[in-house]
Each structure stands twice: as structure tokens, then as C-alpha cells.
A = this chain, B = another copy of it.
Amino acid sequence: MKTSTLMMVAERAGVSTATVARVLKGKGYVSEDARSRVETALRETRYRPNAMARGLRQQRSFTVGHMLTAITANPFFVNVAHWAEEEALVHGYKTFLFNHNGMAERERLGVEHFIERRVDAVLFTNAVDPANVRLLQAAAIPVVQLERVALAEAPAIVVDNRVGALQAMRHLIELGHHRIAFMGGDPSLIAPYGKHVPSVEQERLGAYRDALAAAGLEQPEGAVRLGRYYNIEDGGSGIEGYRHMKDLLALASRPTAIFATCDILAAGALQAIYEAGLRVPDDISLIGFDDTIGMNLTPALTTVAQPMQELGRAGFRAALAAIEERTLDAAPPLASRLVLRRSTAPAR
């Protein structure tokens, strides 16, 4: 049985479509008699409004597109997407996900899909190419960037990576660690666009250096390892962290603590340490970033949590504001924060 139309409901109830529409929206005058007839007709036909017809008529789809970077490689994106969707649902919207896997052409394809579907706004949890963001703006579709900004001119909800990173470093320092290594994203590699804003990578690395300096500690030679967080193609394997850690372990004077600015990096580091027959946190302390797979690692990882829920929710709300043409005052960055688990201990 195909889904029925407003017209069919109207006929069955012996009224016009306008009357059915009135009871559906609960506004406008309808006699008790008509109302009840319509209501039973609605039930009997199992009427479900046709979102395409409605969208066409109202010139909005009640859908927002959400462009993601690496849904299979890093759970971070799934989480942000999940919470954005949750918030969207509350407001009667649905989200449409699209994964670009770090490829600009792919992102372009997604953007065109979004335009064709006439989404009411688009969330980018990481745009790769600012040109794609502009494409949307040219089509008069509001855009909100989450976590990272690719196009400085477009609104964004970002995270204060510095607070959490500083907490992490202070924690390590308080535990008495003097030789602390860093592994993370290479600022020059990861943020080719939007150099104007301090990038996520700059914030994290900066916090590491500043905390060290504030404590009068040296940055151990060869202890800052920069690169990518993971390869999207291999499904987020941690191999990068594994390699960094191998090198770190081979250092003349081995670090006693590591600050890895991604849980996936930390996962690889953990494997290298284990292979070397060392124990975390007994021999080496380790802190991650994001709070994604950290809780499932061995030992459970102390990590800097990103506010994924707030990112998603605030992201959608910002999009909604834009859709409704309300101006939203630029929100301050959301805080990151240290989550203590079992991968850190006093230096020996």
C-alpha cells in the first residue's frame, strides 16, 4: 500500500485539502465535526506528509548537510556528527552526512549533492578546501565550520586546545617528569589554508612548549615528532604513533613521558612501548588527545577530551540561527579538558 496523500485524506473525510492542512498544523478554524472526521481519516489512511512536496513548496528541506573528514578512521567525527544530529532532531531537522576522506574533489562532490538536495545549511567538521565552502556561500546556503577553520570569513565553532593541553602538561610535570616528548600534527602540513587563525596544531604544540618553559624544563632533543595523525586510507591504524615511539625509544636519553595529541597516535605508541617490554605508566607515562578510543586502550588512556557533544550541538544551533537569519554573537571557543585514567604515574 503506497502512502496516501493529503488529497486522499480530504476526500475520505469529505472536506478540502485546506481543511486537512488546518487540522494538521493545528491552526486556523476548523469545526469540531470536520476535525474529528479528518482525524479519523488521517489515522485510517496512515497518512504521512511528503517531505519533498513540502520542501518544494516551502523552499526549505529541514535538512542540514554535515561534511565529515574521516568517519571510519577517527571516531571523533562520528561523535560530533551524532550530537549534531541529536540537536537537529530536537528542532525538527535531519542531518545528511557526507564523508570526504580528506580529498578536495570528494568534498566538492558532497557539496554539490548538498546543493541539489537543497539542504538549509551545511556543517563542516573540517572542510579541506575553502573553495568548497565558498561554493555553498555562493548558493546562499549558510555554513558553519566545526573544530577547524578552513575559511576565515565563514562562521566557526572552535575548541580551545590550549587549556586542555596545558592541563595535560602540568599534570605530567607535577608527576615529576622532566623529559617529556611530543607527538602530533605538523602545523605546516595540516593547515595549508587559513594560516591567519592559530591552527589546532599550533595551539597544541605551543602549549607543550610554553608549559615546558614555564616549568623551566628543556625540550629534549629529538623529542618533538611532527607528522600526520593517521592515514585515512588504512582506517586509522596508529602506525604513525608506533613509528614515532620507536624512534623515541631509541633516543640516547629516553623520555619518561609522552604527550600525543591524538588518541590514535597514542594507540600506536602504546603498541611500540609494549613491544619493547616496557610498561605504561610504570616506565613511561602517556597522554592522548580527543578522548575517542582512549578508554578502550590498555592501559586506559589519560587524555585531553574534546567537547564533541557541545561541538555538534552548538554547531547545529549556529546553523539554525543562520537559517532563521538570526545573528548569533560569535561564541567563545569551547574548552578541552584533561580526563585522568591509568596511563600516567609519577616519574621514577
Q: Residues on A close to B: CB < 8 A? A: 1-3, 46, 48-53, 55-56, 61, 71-72, 75, 78-79, 82, 85, 94, 96-97, 99, 112-113, 115-118, 138-140, 235-238, 264, 267-268, 270-271, 274-275, 293, 295-300
Q: Of all chain B residues, which has the CB nearest A242? A: B300
Which residues of chain B come closer than 8 Å to A271, judged between CB atoms?
298-300
A116 and B47 CA atoms in complex are apart in Å by 9
Q: A334 to nearest B CB, angstroms? A: 19
Instruction: Decide yes or no: A238 and B296 within 8 Å by CB, A51-B116, A118-B50 being known contacts.
Output: yes
Candidates B61, B78, B97; contact of A52 at CB < 8 Å: B61
Q: Of all chain B residues, which has the CB nearest A97? A: B97
Which residues of chain B come closer than 8 Å to A75, judged between CB atoms?
72, 75, 78
Q: A180 to nearest B CB, angstroms? A: 21
Instruction: Decide yes or no: A96 and B99 within 8 Å by CB, A48-B112, A56-B50, A139-B1 being known contacts.
Output: no
A235 and B300 CA atoms in complex are apart in Å by 14
Which residues of chain B come closer than 8 Å to A116, judged between CB atoms?
48-51
Candidates B72, B78, B82, B270; contact of A298 at CB < 8 Å: B270
- Asked whether A296 lies within 8 Å of B79 as measured between CB atoms, the reply is no
- Asked whether B236 lies within 8 Å of A296 as measured between CB atoms, the reply is yes
- Asked whether B51 lies within 8 Å of A118 as measured between CB atoms, the reply is yes
Which residues of chain B come closer than 8 Å to A115, judged between CB atoms?
3, 48
Q: A213 to nearest B CB, angstroms? A: 32
